[in-house]
Amino acid sequence: MIDLLRKRRSIRKYTQEPVSPEAMEALRETALRAPSSRGINPWEFIFVDDPALLKQLAGAKQHGSQFVGGAPLAIVVCADSSKSDVWVEDCSIAAILLQFTALSLGLGSCWAQIRNRDHDANRSAEEYLQQLLGLPEQVKVECILGIGHPAERKIPLATDKLQREKIRKNHW
């Protein structure tokens, strides 16, 4: 796992090569194996590979989601908020596991935050996606993950650039 963590970078440019059915199944299994508080599993996942819908997802918020339009796959990570008060944490855990699984399969990924972001002056990114995807009112959206074969190469963060001052022992 540490080797994957050392290599992980946000990839926002993808080739047009589709994600294989085998990789898609591994991602589905990862999503469904993600831990959740008290085993409630409030998360839900929408796998999107339709190019026209990917372009619409790319416009979910004003900045930072455009890369989704160039991805061959997006996963909308959401949850039934009526099932758990910690759905945000449960979705976050599932999303990062999906990103690491993608990396282990040779794919790149990037997280587009949706919760607490604006689509425009009149509605939130979440409201936009609820309408676009037909989500019930209680289903809240944490993020969209763009996933695909990387069309860019990013250098991993060097060990000497780690913010070691963020680690403390026993006390602040």
CATH of the domain at 38: 3.40.109.10
Residue at token pair 């999906």: 98
Residue at token pair 């294989």: 20
pLDDT of residue 160: 94
Q: Cα-flanking dihedrals φ and ψ of residue 113, to 5°?
A: -65, 135
Question: CA-CA distance, 101 to 129, in Å (whole number)?
Answer: 25
Q: Are 138 and 80 in contact (CB under 8 A)?
A: yes
**Residue 168 lies inside a defined structural domain of this protein:** no
Residue at token pair 């699984």: 101
**Host domain of residue 118:** 2-149
pLDDT of residue 34: 98
Q: Cα-flanking dihedrals φ and ψ of residue 73, to 5°?
A: -145, 140
**Residue 81 lies inside a defined structural domain of this protein:** yes
**Residue 136 lies inside a defined structural domain of this protein:** yes
**Residue 96 lies inside a defined structural domain of this protein:** yes
pLDDT of residue 1: 83
pLDDT of residue 129: 98
Q: Mean pLDDT per segment of 10 residues, for the chain of length 172 residues?
A: 90 97 98 97 98 98 96 98 98 98 98 97 97 97 98 93 95 94
**Residue 156 lies inside a defined structural domain of this protein:** no
Maximal CA-CA distance, the chain: 52
**Residue 166 lies inside a defined structural domain of this protein:** no
pLDDT of residue 76: 98
**Residue 103 lies inside a defined structural domain of this protein:** yes
Alpha-carbon Rg for the chain in angstroms? 17
Q: Cα-flanking dihedrals φ and ψ of residue 162, to 5°?
A: -65, 140
The domain tally of the chain equals 1
Q: Are 92 and 122 in contact (CB under 8 A)?
A: no
Mark residue 134 as left, alpha or beta (left: phi above 0; alpha: psi -120 to 50; beta: remaining).
left
The verdict on pTM exceeding 0.85 is yes
**Residue 125 lies inside a defined structural domain of this protein:** yes
